[in-house]
Structure 1
């Protein structure tokens, strides 16, 4: 039986629509708000600005409250922090928050893990362990957040299970991104940066009233860079490219009791991201290194990836087109109840072209293209906050319709590199199609009893029911020579026709929370909580080992977590010191993690037994002297398998013994650094009322991490530290503030790998971090 992938045709639209300038003039007119009209634009004396730490408002419990009164572990990054530290991508936030890792290969193979949980990218058939929300809309693919952070107001990183208040159930945590809303006062900003390796970025945002009850906002960006990995085969630079996009918004606010916010956005990317550099050729057994031997036999010349070099004979390219729209309505009902409705639609198209990593034609092109559409509807009712008991109730619906296609175009050296009989794979083309429909329904609620003026008890519950239907097919390979015997068997196993039939999964996933918090003083909060979270399973949308292992190997089971946490939040020394700390212990069953199949040479997701995550997290922000802000955070996170007896073996074991599975019980979980420390500082001073110079410095360090699931000694990511520096001056103008700065990222020019991947024949390749980059930025807020 053959099915056709419902992948739409693709035509490049890589030109940002030239409507920004005309639209801005039409919407907001030529006028500008002066500093006198908008006092926030004026440069204030540092002594007045930073006598005390400001209050940070969050929406973590689906109502506005100060972050220091929320009894859960949460890190908040405001727009000023993101701008000061030059953080423009989601994958860089790990330099500012504890217990967080962002694994980025390209937009499809990216993931966020918190407390060592959630490092499971590239599975199209289920969602991530860490939920990503953009303006209250859940993003079904982590890659939907891989664009420049445009006009962001605030980022919140919530650690631990989140399900009793957020739309989608997650087991590891939430990244909540909030962008700036339209304003009824004219304001805007424009920023341009340039740096080494052809780096150039421009962003602009403008907002203002259209009528007395309607305001609009439009934001746009364009970024490009040449790349920082040299391809010695042709001299090209890789891991660079272009990104651009825009967001438009309308805010209708006819009264104090109702508002309606519409958002429409579009983003695109054309890059060579996804370039893997050789990290290790794996084990040498009895004087033979399989990776090096077969590479030489195929005629390949290897280069050391640690020199930021690759040797690729075919094209490396990724294109992404995505967009979406949402409509959020808020009503203030009688007795101060609040009703919220959020309706959203998003689409995401991803197309890769991947090289085999060698400078000989093992395959000309490989990769998985994805076409994804999602719809969601959330309704929440929040009670007034001042009663003895307050609560939030909600209902959520999520639908996803996803198609993918895996393409392999093998070259004449495929059999040599794959160690298959001659003619089995050479010069054939193999296509696989996958499809999955997801329907998710949930009811959730959370209430807080104010037992005394200082003691609160919180309880939350959630029930999620999901239906998933899928199928996977692989066409008969085309091309190549006629083969018989062992070559025919090898071709059938690696590229032969396959049809999974209809695959269905039905699951009910409960979540719950119990929490006690006590306000010891107005500035010190203590809390303790226990929570349970579940995330449904899914289907691997690639054939993998299914022809021999059966269709059950395609099914991924539910991931379940029990989490216990105690913590304290304090604001001390007349609000000049913020000090938060917490201890946590989590047990995970059915942990979903990436597995590499050495025989079929494919990566897929499976349930990796049971995991324990325990640790300590610290966050501190201090104002030791006028104008100086120091932020320090860190974590100790011990994440290990407590039961994983049928794990894949490291190549030094499987090549030596032929073992098909190994016991990794007690081993460290992939991608989880045991120690993380981040230090960020800013010092600014006032020359006069018009001039404010400043300097910033940041230091981000993380200890060694296991690179791949098999925990091979040849796949360990070494510890590394990154230093970023900047300096500049803010100038108060008649109509706004001009900010001019110089900066350097990775000032020590550290060569480091952010993630590793299994390669064929026991080797390991990885994603290189960016080298030292010097640049300058000019920003004007008006």
Structure 2
């Protein structure tokens, strides 16, 4: 698209938003003195929300940033269990648990179509996640459970100046509840669908007026919602099992006798379960009248199955391009051809079993009955409740963090803040990637990360309180290891690597009050990321020596051959300067108009999934973005209506896209994109009994151009990034992943005094348009409407609280992430969302 056309379209987008703002303003300007008098005479008003989006406390309506703020009380009324569920009512936010290639504990967060779905150590997220001021570097362990949260702030658009790197799409800032001044606490029990049993509790103990502590714990248990099934023969003397062994087919799930962890008929745990222990300890200590120390320790332990993975499609054998399989020439045979015969052109597992039965000369009903848990074979509508499984499934997570914050009021006008933190992650996860009853593709990861960070902030006010400023510095070091094995029957790739990342930053921002109504803000951040990566010695081993007996694969010329992954090291440094500028004007005391320019960057890195034949470690550059935004925030109707709207246009450069090279997912800088949109949020206190909240977003996210420069790829072949991605199905007309064009949500809360207490009923509906789960658009999800319900009852003069909640009450079946490799192994698989869930919670406070 020509540059002049791009900016004409951007101008139209901003003009449309400005026109809406002008219309709204013209209908809300009325006598300020009379409005203030009405507010004083009314107790039915919008709740003021304090946010720290600019590293200082200020009213949400005075903050010239697109922010959604959700209070802890709102989370509890909605019956939410983890923070990913805030996407139901947050414009332009997609937050999924379970990345496309990761464990169920991984998060995939996108704001305005910008983010990252890969959990790999060498790839950084595009949306920053912060917990009590501490940056969480990895998406593994990023799906946090709701426990003692004061509020969550979702900041849309790049936040590079104050929050730093990898906030190119935005940031999610989580603030926890601090210890109380008095002895207090609660205990809560929840029961629900899929044998859910949760127990939570917290106690605040003030040892003195200056030293307060709080301990919060939770035990969360729930069965999975996708049952594992496999071929039902496990007896070693079974003739069918012996027949498979005789012909070398040890890859069939029925051969493995592990009823605990492999999906045999009637055995194995269901996928998508929850089994977690969570603990948080906090201590606040006022060392002096001007010095406060806050200590935070958190620990999470999970022992769960992996996220479910459903087989959604396959590539027929006669269309597979085995030239993209590097093992064909090296091992002398088409490594994956056998399993394409077992899946002959359709996803019905019965046809696959039919083929296997005919090859063995046995009856199909000896292999796959049509009753019991395998009835999903004949009924496609049941497949979202069952997954074929042929390999172990697990997700073991141990995560803990320690944070120390010191606030020192150096003088009445200057404050020094120090944030020191250490975080540790150990996650072992194994999954059946193809989701079929045959052993085609599974993987196991041993993932560790150790992160230390230190931030210093000097902030203050000057020039008769007209200048509000902050300057600071940031340092972090992260070391980690991700050793993995990927089985592509009958071979296994073993590899992975170690990282050592160091980040440095200097930043500053100042807001000058030109008049009582006009403010000008400017900021700048310098960042440097020094990264190193070294591969783990490993390779590929061919496990099955001879399966000529059923004529599926020729005898490999060198049984047991190993193709080694190169043991190499690489290092790179990335430097960025991100500016920010904002002009804001209070048209009235309750109406803020602002315009801003901001830039952001996401660090580059390395590719760690290296198949043999790679001569070097492929690396990729940083992403950058420039965003222009205008917005309006107003309070009207006697302080009973909050209305916020913003429009933005973005120029997104050096997109990091993932294609396939040598059967390995490879990230490279391949495209530019133009992203623009509008976001609206409304909160309306209709009466003393009724509140309505709503949100809407429109997003236009399109590729602008692809990188056509020719270079040597990791396999030594001269080609362009655009051609390599085109070979993987990624083209300029594709939808950007996780960037729905429309999002809409509406919620109503009705409160009444009944049965000697106060009852609150909530209904929340959300809609999103079609969405692509992957860059190649092989995995597309149609439009989706969800409905959540909750009811809350508090008896009069009581310390009991009862909450009934239902999520996805209409039982919509849809997928949240997926993986497709049509050319390598011919597999398309997706992770389904949970079906309808109901829960009942009882809380006792003291």
Give runs of aligned pairs for residues 343-492 of structure 1, distance below 5 A.
343-357=420-434, 360-362=437-439, 365-384=442-461, 387-409=465-487, 414-415=489-490, 425=491, 429-478=492-541, 480=543, 487=556
Could you tell me how far 1:255 is from its partner in structure 2?
3.3
Q: Is 1:249 aligned with 2:282? A: yes
Maintained 8 Å contact 2:188/2:201: yes
Q: Check conservation: 1:103, 1:119, Cα contact below 8 A.
A: no
**140-149 or 358-367: bigger deviation:** 358-367
Corresponding residue of 1:15: none
Provide the C-alpha distance between the structure 1 equivalents of 2:320 and 2:450, rounded to a whole number of angstroms.
51
Counterpart residue number, 2:401: 324
Question: How far does residue 603 in structure 1 lie from its aligned partner after superposition?
Answer: 3.1
Give SS of 1:496's match: strand
1:103 and 1:613 mapped to 2: Cα distance? 21
Match of 2:603 in 1: 536
- Whether contact under 8 Å (2:311, 2:436) holds in the other structure is no
Q: Deviations over 1:571-622 (max 9, x none)?
A: 111110000000011111111233345x52x434332411221111000000
Pair 543,364 (structure 1): closer, same or farther in 2 beyond 3 Å: closer
Retained in 2: the 8 A contact 1:103–1:110? yes
Structure 2: stretches of 5+ with no match in the other structure: 1-39, 231-264, 322-339, 358-366, 369-375, 547-552, 714-723
- Equivalent residue number for residue 239 of structure 1: 272
Structure 1 residues 80 and 66: CA distance shift in structure 2, 3 A: same
Cα distance change on mapping 1:721 and 1:520 into 2, 3 Å: same
Could you state the TM-score of these two structures normalised by the residue count of structure 2? 0.78
Match of 2:634 in 1: 570
What does 1:733-772 align with in structure 2 at a 5 Å threshold? Answer: 733=797, 737-759=799-821, 761-772=825-836
Structure-2 separation of matches of 1:49 and 1:125: 55
- Are the equivalent residues in 2 in contact too, given 1:717–1:755 (CA < 8 A)? no
* Superposed displacement of residue 192, structure 1: 1.4
SS at match of 2:343: helix
- State TM-score, norm by structure 1: 0.84
Number of the residue aligned with 2:312: 279
2:174 aligned with 1:177:
yes
Per the alignment, residue 32 of structure 2 pairs with: none
- The Cα of 1:165 is off from its aligned counterpart by 1.1
Deviation at 1:625, TM superposition (A): 1.6
Alpha-carbon distance in 2 for matches of 1:476, 1:87? 44
How many residue pairs align between the two structures? 701
Residue 344 of structure 1: how far off its partner (Å): 0.4
- 1:211: how far off? 2.0
Match of 2:163 among 137, 144, 166: 166
Tell me what 1:716 maps to: 780
User: Residues 663 and 181 (structure 1 numbering): CA distance in 2 closer, same or farther, change over 3 Å?
Assistant: closer
Q: What is the aligned partner in structure 1 of residue 762 from structure 2?
A: 696
Q: Quick one: structure 1 residues 464 and 137, their matched pair in 2 at CA, closer, same or farther if it must change by over 3 Å?
A: same
- Cα-Cα RMSD: 3.0
Deviation at 1:759, TM superposition (A): 4.4
Contact kept? 2:128, 2:135, Cα under 8 Å: yes
Structure 1: give runs of 5+ residues left out of the alignment: 1-46, 416-424, 649-656
Q: Which residue of 2 aligns with 1:153?
A: 150
Structure 2 CA distance for partners of 1:111 and 1:298, relative to 1, 3 Å: farther
- Within a 5 Å distance, the mapping from 1:179-218 to structure 2 comes to 179-218=176-215
How far apart are the structure 1 equivalents of 2:614 and 2:507?
38
CA–CA separation in structure 2 for the residues paired with 1:571 and 1:630: 15
Q: Deviations over 1:210-268 (max 9, x none)?
A: 12311000001111111111223334422113011100011101333110001111101
Tell me the CA shift for residue 749 of structure 1.
1.0
Q: Deviations over 1:268-295 (max 9, x none)?
A: 1111132211233357989999893178
1:516-566 C-alpha deviation (Å, 9 max, x unpaired): 11100011101111111112201122214xx445425x2121110011111
Judging changes above 3 Å, is the alpha-carbon distance between structure 1 residues 48 and 101 closer, same or farther for their aligned structure 2 residues? farther
Are the counterparts in 1 of residues 768 and 784 from structure 2 also a CA contact under 8 Å? Answer: yes
**Residues of 1 paired with 2:841 and 2:189: CA distance?**
6
CA spacing shift, 1:58–1:485, aligned 2, 3 Å:
same
Tell me if structure 1 keeps the 8 A contact 2:124–2:166: no
Name 2:717's counterpart in structure 1: none
Q: Is contact 1:363–1:408 with CA below 8 Å preserved after alignment?
A: no
Alignment of 1:135-154 (within 5 A): 135-154=132-151
Q: 1:342 aligns with which of 414, 419, 428?
A: 419
Equivalent positions of 1:617-696 (< 5 A) are 617-644=679-706, 660=727, 664-687=731-754, 691-696=757-762
The answer to whether the Cα contact below 8 Å between 1:678 and 1:699 also exists between their aligned partners in 2 is yes
Output the CA distance in 2 between the equivalents of 1:263 and 1:659: 48
Cα deviation, residue 310, structure 1: 0.9
CA deviation map 1:487-526 (0-9, x unaligned) = 569997xx62122522001111111101111100011101
